[in-house]
Copies of this chain bind each other. A is one copy, B any other.
Amino acid sequence: MGQKVAIGKMAVLLASLSDEELTFFRPSLSAVQYCQGKVGSMNMQKVISAVETAAKRNKLIHESYYRETHALYHAIMEGIEGVTRGQPAIGEMSRTVGLRFAVVRGTPYTEIGEGEWIAVAFYGTIGAPVKGAEHETIGLGINHI
């Protein structure tokens, strides 16, 4: 049996909590691989690219295998669905995002055959391209990898 880890919850906490707030959860993080990052943009390609680059640089996915890029891409897009709630578009809809994100790779099931899965979480703000004219948003995507 492998070690069951709530990779989605871990990703959400990594994206939304401060370092101090994370202290309590540090022990759980030792069972997974993860990375964190930030991106602010009206351009969804930049958001996608920021996560992909961070995941590759931190060896969360095998860059040379398309199957891992494919798994990550769909997890990112599902996270973006939560962030954008309805239409995965930002600038085209005259809005902008300021996001922290986290990618977590681990084994969320005790059965070893279930293998590794990947979680992508976003937390931050979405709103008009005017300072303060924004509210919180969150998104989480999960995929087998």
Question: Interface on A for B, CB 8 Å cutoff?
Answer: 6-9, 12, 16, 21, 24-25, 44-45, 48-49, 62, 64-67, 69-71, 73-74, 77-78, 81-83, 85-89, 91-95, 108-109, 111, 113-115, 117, 119, 121, 123, 127-128, 130, 132-144
Interface residues of chain A: helix, strand, loop or mixed (majority): mixed
Contact A81 B85 (CB under 8 A): yes
Given contacts A8-B137, A16-B9, A74-B74, contact A132 B144 (CB under 8 A): no
| 5 A-B residue pairings within 8 Å (CB atoms) | A65-B113, A70-B135, A77-B93, A82-B82, A82-B138
Q: How far does the alpha carbon of A55 sit from the alpha carbon of B24 in the complex, in Å?
A: 30
